[in-house]
């Protein structure tokens, strides 16, 4: 809810939105979602979201002027389900009259630094769909509202614009940036959030709130605050109206001097307030009454209850021009030594689990459509995708995938994802049974990354179904734990496939502990059709050749027909990378280091490194080992150099026969803390590329932004943290190249989860992989980031992959776009023991043909009976590729192989509004195509509702 103060009519009109907000899942992140709702861990964090709604609705009914805004639909949904129909009717009435307004309206308020756009679009769609179906157009939020996220991504603004929001408000930005904007009255600006979409498609009016998400000083009237209430009985001794008014007017005038229009907004409320809403409303009613009464004596201040959309309308009506911003709001610092760049990496295992869960969810959604209704009710039970959709949606929260929650809360998010996946596995099995005609039980192996799969380890004959969720064919290296020494593998046509058996590495044995005992890995390349599956059969070969053996010497090089990598024989480290097709070679050294985390005991500041904050106590990291012990394996399918740096750091440098990227599979942990030093582990790539301080990182996995060390595009930076102040989120890729030359070298690193990184010195790119800290950073977690688990009581071990490609900048995106999509949406393997039924369909594609390289099939999900939601995306920026940065046209009727498309309507990005009703944008789509042909321009995402059979 909000109040608006408006200066008086005859001088100037102006609002102050005294505003109240609640409904945030966890700014202090102490409780799980359920605990917050019921308020049942009040020993940890007092918060009972259910009482807030009970209390606020009651108070809104008492005075028609009062307003309230509600942000996160996940919580609202829980409350709504439990209400009587008469209460629901009352709330509908409040919504229709604009007294209760939804803002943002996603399932949660997502994090901006560590989320992937595909999951953000999904979680927004989930929340906004509920609001539309429950309240119709009056429930549709017009304003995006991210009062708490710790820095703001350009891609989020772009998505919000395409979802039809008219404006965006947030609370946190760099303190130097804010100071400059206050002076220049640029706290409200026009964010041009895409360099490729035609304006105003991605333009978003963006406002910075005056007090974060808090009320002005001295004006907090909640049971959780201790500011004095307004005591307005003149007969009583502690009458304080004059004092309140004086303080209030001082604040209002001060605030209006740093904003551009005569209207200002004030947020009245904070985390978990309004459980007893009477306290707030009673005092706000009085405040409004007394402030406005001063108008009789010439005051020009007018205050009223308002909402963000109402405030935004006044900004619009003011008809001013707004500063244009084209970069983003990272990194965020709230003081000279307090950079919120640690959470880019915090809880790397949860970050990877969230990312792979997204891949699994998209597969589940697609198979629900392709397999038809029987997928939801099949031979293996009731499958459903809703639990996974909701689990993924809450995992996007700014204290979830960000890694900034307490340990037990992180465990709760992971448990929700696991539970969702369990339900989806039933759906996937049902769908694959329907599509293949085989009812043989299907086994999922979720721990293949650590060579654990009981079926493949024990079975003498099994088959592997490889489902590819991408709309283009993929080649994928399969590595299966086995105990035999030789196998025969054949593809869906019965043709035998080259395969090899290699010993499981000691690093893998170490990390899997006693969860599996396979001694070998069976490796072979699979080729999976677009949006479909193929099946390989594997059988033990009793008299086959012996498995490949490891060599203890560092090889001079490994190579395939695309890439060659050399190693330094003395150190065992990488020494160069060549692209054999383009004949490029760079010097490349890679090693692992750790920063000694600040413990807060420091003359400059007492800020320690923690879940949010990254603050190394020195700018020079310690090298973990100058040399790596190595062993290597060379087979026709894959070549590996296995490097050991320390008992807690190892890596496999891997190149398979058909890969255009070098894989670095790192395993880091448990980080030792017996020296009482918190550690932040990075890997650093030092190259011969002359980067002149520039490097590039993606925004939420989509558009790439240029970064420069010790520099911000919109203000003159006083750098106070040479490492932490140069870190940026890397969601899916980062690269370095020589500036302004298109035929030089570009080294791209594709990541498998969100991580933080930077380019501190010329030619260098570093990525933070894992962190273990001994102090809380005083931003609300109230725990040190010191991850352990049942399996790793001495500290978490984390494994992940980086993919490196070297290309000329002019064609680098042609390589890294599909590479990154292949990591985000990776094939799903399922297994069946023994022989498959003779009539089993071994291969299937849901598409008539692969989509063109520029087009990504972002969403295919069941919407309703006979209705399917489809999103097609142009995945190239306008400047990125000579070949692919061109408009492409797709014919929706010729898209699917098994679905007959009967009708199509286009929606906004979040699917809660018909495109033709979207008033925000004024562009005219090209009309020289038939209605089935849809053209996508660079970076465009188009969302369709298809009627199908």
Ligand X SMILES: *[C@@H]1O[C@H](CO)[C@@H](O)[C@H](O)[C@H]1NC(C)=O
Closest CB to ligand X among residues 432, 671: 671
Does residue 839 belong to the site contacting ligand X (CB under 6 A)? no
Any idea which residue has 């195509």 for tokens? 929
Two tokens at 19?
Answer: 């505003």
Does residue 789 belong to the site contacting ligand X (CB under 6 A)? no
Give the span between the Cα atoms of 502 and 518, in whole angstroms: 11
Does residue 73 belong to the site contacting ligand X (CB under 6 A)? no
Closest CB to ligand X among residues 153, 450: 450
Does residue 913 belong to the site contacting ligand X (CB under 6 A)? yes
Does residue 294 belong to the site contacting ligand X (CB under 6 A)? yes
Nearest CA to 389 among 435, 344, 432, 424?
A: 424
Closest CB to ligand X among residues 193, 518: 518
Closest CB to ligand X among residues 162, 840: 162
Candidates 386, 620, 741, 788: give the one binding ligand X (CB under 6 A): 788
Q: Which stretch binds ligand X (CB under 6 A): 194-202, 226-234, 290-298, 743-751?
A: 290-298
- 431 backbone dihedrals φ, ψ, rounded to 5°: -65, -45
Does residue 891 belong to the site contacting ligand X (CB under 6 A)? no
Sign of CA dihedral 96, 100, 101, 103: negative
272: phi > 0 → left, psi -120 to 50 → alpha, else beta; which? left
Q: Which stretch binds ligand X (CB under 6 A): 23-31, 84-92, 890-898, 906-914?
A: 906-914
- 727 backbone dihedrals φ, ψ, rounded to 5°: -95, 145
Does residue 745 belong to the site contacting ligand X (CB under 6 A)? no
CB of 156 to ligand X, least distance (A): 22
Give the span between the Cα atoms of 546 and 500, in whole angstroms: 10
Q: Which stretch binds ligand X (CB under 6 A): 411-419, 590-598, 643-651, 781-789?
A: 781-789
Q: Which is the catalytic residue, given 111, 122, 148, 686?
A: 148
Closest CB to ligand X among residues 316, 415: 316
Does residue 258 belong to the site contacting ligand X (CB under 6 A)? no
Closest CB to ligand X among residues 113, 668: 668
Candidates 319, 552, 603, 839: give the one binding ligand X (CB under 6 A): 319
Candidates 11, 61, 289, 293: give the one binding ligand X (CB under 6 A): 293
H/E element, 869: strand 867-874
Q: How many CB atoms lie within 10 A of CB 264?
A: 27
Give the span between the Cα atoms of 188 and 207, in whole angstroms: 4
The number of residues that bind ligand X (CB under 6 A) is 22
Q: Which stretch binds ligand X (CB under 6 A): 92-100, 148-156, 293-301, 484-492?
A: 293-301
Q: Which stretch binds ligand X (CB under 6 A): 204-212, 702-710, 755-763, 910-918?
A: 910-918
Closest CB to ligand X among residues 249, 738: 249
DSSP for residue 272: T
Give the span between the Cα atoms of 279 and 268, in whole angstroms: 12
CB of 914 to ligand X, least distance (A): 5
Which residues lie closer than 8 Å to 819 by C-beta, 6 or more apart?
660, 661, 748, 750, 803, 805
- Over its C-alpha atoms, the chain yields an Rg (Å, rounded) of 29
Which residues lie closer than 8 Å to 500 by C-beta, 6 or more apart?
522, 523, 524, 547, 548, 635, 636, 637, 638
Sign of CA dihedral 885, 890, 896, 897: negative
Does residue 602 belong to the site contacting ligand X (CB under 6 A)? no
Do 842 and 541 contact (CB within 8 A), yes or no? Answer: no
Site for ligand X in 431-490 (CB under 6 A): 457-458, 483
203 is catalytic: no
Candidates 84, 85, 86, 297: give the one binding ligand X (CB under 6 A): 297
Sign of CA dihedral 647, 648, 649, 651: positive
CB of 774 to ligand X, least distance (A): 4
Exposed / middle / buried, residue 403 (Cβ in 10 Å: 0-12, 13-18, 19+): buried
Candidates 439, 540, 774, 810: give the one binding ligand X (CB under 6 A): 774
Which residues lie closer than 8 Å to 134 by C-beta, 6 or more apart?
80
Does residue 914 belong to the site contacting ligand X (CB under 6 A)? yes
H/E element, 734: strand 733-737
Q: Which stretch binds ligand X (CB under 6 A): 187-195, 361-369, 511-519, 633-641?
A: 511-519
Does residue 289 belong to the site contacting ligand X (CB under 6 A)? no
Give the span between the Cα atoms of 809 and 817, in whole angstroms: 13
Does residue 519 belong to the site contacting ligand X (CB under 6 A)? yes
Candidates 149, 207, 532, 784: give the one binding ligand X (CB under 6 A): 784
Closest CB to ligand X among residues 510, 843: 510
CB of 346 to ligand X, least distance (A): 15
H/E element, 448: none
Give the span between the Cα atoms of 605 and 906, in whole angstroms: 54
CB of 445 to ligand X, least distance (A): 14
CA distances for 564 relative to 486, 587, 627, 689, angstroms: 28, 12, 21, 17
CB of 434 to ligand X, least distance (A): 28
Candidates 34, 97, 133, 916: give the one binding ligand X (CB under 6 A): 133
Does residue 912 belong to the site contacting ligand X (CB under 6 A)? yes
Closest CB to ligand X among residues 458, 889: 458
Q: Which stretch binds ligand X (CB under 6 A): 1-9, 178-186, 516-524, 539-547?
A: 516-524
CA dihedral 937, 941, 945, 949 (to 10 degrees): 70
Nearest CA to 230 among 180, 185, 281?
A: 281
Does residue 224 belong to the site contacting ligand X (CB under 6 A)? no
Candidates 64, 98, 136, 373: give the one binding ligand X (CB under 6 A): 136
Does residue 175 belong to the site contacting ligand X (CB under 6 A)? no
Does residue 278 belong to the site contacting ligand X (CB under 6 A)? no
Give the span between the Cα atoms of 842 and 437, in whole angstroms: 9
Does residue 786 belong to the site contacting ligand X (CB under 6 A)? yes
Nearest CA to 55 among 11, 100, 18, 110?
A: 100
Do 745 and 811 contact (CB within 8 A), yes or no? Answer: no
Does residue 505 belong to the site contacting ligand X (CB under 6 A)? no
Q: Which stretch binds ligand X (CB under 6 A): 276-284, 514-522, 627-635, 736-744?
A: 514-522
Candidates 21, 768, 785, 907: give the one binding ligand X (CB under 6 A): 907
Nearest CA to 56 among 101, 18, 15?
A: 101
Closest CB to ligand X among residues 133, 184: 133
CB of 295 to ligand X, least distance (A): 8
Q: At what angle do helices 386-395 and 73-81 cross, to 10 degrees?
A: 130
Nearest CA to 170 among 203, 213, 106, 140?
A: 213
CB of 908 to ligand X, least distance (A): 8
CA atoms within 13 A on the CB side of 866: 5
Two tokens at 548?
Answer: 């490949």
Closest CB to ligand X among residues 786, 893: 786
Site for ligand X in 557-596 (CB under 6 A): none
Nearest CA to 601 among 334, 780, 337?
A: 337
Any idea which residue has 């692919």 for tokens? 884
CB of 382 to ligand X, least distance (A): 26
Q: Which stretch binds ligand X (CB under 6 A): 130-138, 249-257, 389-397, 737-745?
A: 130-138
Closest CB to ligand X among residues 58, 917: 917
Do 750 and 762 contact (CB within 8 A), yes or no? Answer: no
Residues in touch with ligand X (CB under 6 A): 132-133, 136, 293-294, 296-297, 319, 457-458, 483, 517-519, 774, 784, 786, 788, 907, 912-914
Which residues are designated catalytic?
A: 148
């Amino acid at each position: 809810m909000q109040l608006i103060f408006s200066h008086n009519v005859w001088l100037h009109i102006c609002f102050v939105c005294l505003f109240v907000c609640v409904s945030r899942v966890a700014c202090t992140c102490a409780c799980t979602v359920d605990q917050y709702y019921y308020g049942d861990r009040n020993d940890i964090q007092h918060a009972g979201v259910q009482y807030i709604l009970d209390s606020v609705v009651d108070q809104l009914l008492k005075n028609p002027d009062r307003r309230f805004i509600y942000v996160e639909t996940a919580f609202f949904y829980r409350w709504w389900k439990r209400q009587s129909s008469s209460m629901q009717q009352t709330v509908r009435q409040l919504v229709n009259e604009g007294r209760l307004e939804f803002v943002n309206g996603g399932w949660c308020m997502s994090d901006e630094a560590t989320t992937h756009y595909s999951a953000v679009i999904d979680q927004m769609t989930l929340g906004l769909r509920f609001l539309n179906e429950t309240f119709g157009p009056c429930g549709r939020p017009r304003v995006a509202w991210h009062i708490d996220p710790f820095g703001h991504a350009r891609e989020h603004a772009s998505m919000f614009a395409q979802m039809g929001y008219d404006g965006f408000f947030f609370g946190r930005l760099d303190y130097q940036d804010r100071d400059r904007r206050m002076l220049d009255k640029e706290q409200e600006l026009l964010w041009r959030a895409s360099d490729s979409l035609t304006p105003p498609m991605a333009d978003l009016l963006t406002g910075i709130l005056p007090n974060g998400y808090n009320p002005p000083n001295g004006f907090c009237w909640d049971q959780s605050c201790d500011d004095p209430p307004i005591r307005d009985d003149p007969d009583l001794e502690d009458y304080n109206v004059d004092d309140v008014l004086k303080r209030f007017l001082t604040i209002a005038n001060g605030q209006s001097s740093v904003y551009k229009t005569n209207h200002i907004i004030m947020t009245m409320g904070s985390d978990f307030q309004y459980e007893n809403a009477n306290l707030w409303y009673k005092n706000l009613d009085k405040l409004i009454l007394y402030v406005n009464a001063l108008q009789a004596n010439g005051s020009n201040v007018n205050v009223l209850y308002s909402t963000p959309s109402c405030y935004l309308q006044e900004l619009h009506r003011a008809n001013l021009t707004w500063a244009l911003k084209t970069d983003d709001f990272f990194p965020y610092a709230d003081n000279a030594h307090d950079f919120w760049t640690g959470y880019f990496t915090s809880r790397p295992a949860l970050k990877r689990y969230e990312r792979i869960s997204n891949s699994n969810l998209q597969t589940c959604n697609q198979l629900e459509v392709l397999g038809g209704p029987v997928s939801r009710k099949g031979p293996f039970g009731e499958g459903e995708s809703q639990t996974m959709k909701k689990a993924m949606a809450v995992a996007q929260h700014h204290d979830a995938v960000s890694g900034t929650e307490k340990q037990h809360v992180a465990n709760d998010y992971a448990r929700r994802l696991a539970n969702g996946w369990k339900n989806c596995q039933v759906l996937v099995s049902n769908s694959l049974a329907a599509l293949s005609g085989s009812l043989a039980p299907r086994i999922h192996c979720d721990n293949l990354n650590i060579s654990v799969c009981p079926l493949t380890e024990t079975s003498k004959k099994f088959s592997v179904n490889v489902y590819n969720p991408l709309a283009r064919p993929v080649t994928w290296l399969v590595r299966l734990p086995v105990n035999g020494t030789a196998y025969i593998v054949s593809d869906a046509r019965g043709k035998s496939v080259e395969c090899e058996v290699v010993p499981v590495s000691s690093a893998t044995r170490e990390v899997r502990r006693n969860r599996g005992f396979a001694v070998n890995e069976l490796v072979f390349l699979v080729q999976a059709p677009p949006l479909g599956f193929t099946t390989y059969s594997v059988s033990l070969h009793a008299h086959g050749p012996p498995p490949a053996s490891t060599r203890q010497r560092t090889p001079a090089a490994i190579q395939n027909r695309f890439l060659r990598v050399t190693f330094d024989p003395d150190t065992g480290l990488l020494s160069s990378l060549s692209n054999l097709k383009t004949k490029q070679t760079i010097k490349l050294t890679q090693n692992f280091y750790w920063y000694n985390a600040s413990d807060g005991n420091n003359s400059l500041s007492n800020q320690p490194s923690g879940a949010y904050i990254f603050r190394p106590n020195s700018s020079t990291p310690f090298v973990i080992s100058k040399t790596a012990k190595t062993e290597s394996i060379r087979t026709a399918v894959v070549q590996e150099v296995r490097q050991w740096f320390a008992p807690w750091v190892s890596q496999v440098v891997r190149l398979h026969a058909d890969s255009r990227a070098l894989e670095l599979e790192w395993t880091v942990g448990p980080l030792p803390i017996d020296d009482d030093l918190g550690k932040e582990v990075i890997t650093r790539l030092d190259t011969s590329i002359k980067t002149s301080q520039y490097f590039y990182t993606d925004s939420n996995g989509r558009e790439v932004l240029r970064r420069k060390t010790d520099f911000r595009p919109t203000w003159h930076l006083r750098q106070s943290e040479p490492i932490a102040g140069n870190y940026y989120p890397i969601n899916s890729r980062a690269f370095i190249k020589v500036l302004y030359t298109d035929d030089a070298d570009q080294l791209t690193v594709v990541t498998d989860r969100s991580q933080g990184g930077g380019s501190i010195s010329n030619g260098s790119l570093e990525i933070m992989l894992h962190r273990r800290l001994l102090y809380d950073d005083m931003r609300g977690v109230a725990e040190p980031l010191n991850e352990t688990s049942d399996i790793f009581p001495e500290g978490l071990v984390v494994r992940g992959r980086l993919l490196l490609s070297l290309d000329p900048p002019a064609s680098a995106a042609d390589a890294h776009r599909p590479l990154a999509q292949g990591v985000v949406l990776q094939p799903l393997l399922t297994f069946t023991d023994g022989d498959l039924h003779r009539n089993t369909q071994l291969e299937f594609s849901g598409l008539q043909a692969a989509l063109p390289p520029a087009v990504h099939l972002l969403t295919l999900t069941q919407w309703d009976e006979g209705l399917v939601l489809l999103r097609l995306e142009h995945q190239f920026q306008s400047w990125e590729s000579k070949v692919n940065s061109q408009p492409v046209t797709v014919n929706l009727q010729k898209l699917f192989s098994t679905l007959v498309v009967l009708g199509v309507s286009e929606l906004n990005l979040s699917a809660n509004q018909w495109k033709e009703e979207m008033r925000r944008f004024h562009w005219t789509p090209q009309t020289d195509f038939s209605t089935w042909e849809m053209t996508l321009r660079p970076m465009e995402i188009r969302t369709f509702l298809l009627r199908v059979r």
